[in-house]
Amino acid sequence: MVYVDDIRVTISRKIKALNVGKRWGHQWCHMWADSLDELLTFALSIGLKKSWLQHNRICDHFDLVPSMRKKAVDNGAKEYSFKTWLKDNRNIGKS
């Protein structure tokens, strides 16, 4: 399953993210999945580039602007709070 959380407004300190954020009003959300393969397959199917994947010790994910979040939901991504997902999957990121 592929998931998206709620849109948030955050101004990044990273130059690349700051420049992208200016174009989109600093609005974004996370998109993640139960497996990396599932995430990449879904991301490519909605027009994201593999190089935009963000690796994280807890969960690999993509950051989406509002229009891409809508596209993800329209194509089957489940709306889910990331914090709730982490609670429901407590062993994620633990070795």
Q: What is the pLDDT of residue 7?
A: 85
**Nearest alpha-carbon partner for 58 in 24, 38, 87, 37:** 87
Q: pLDDT tens, 32-62?
A: 999 999 999 999 999 999 999 988 888 899 9
Distance between CA atoms of residues 40 and 29, nearest Å: 17
pTM of the model: 0.78
Return the percentage of the chain with pLDDT > 70, whole number.
76
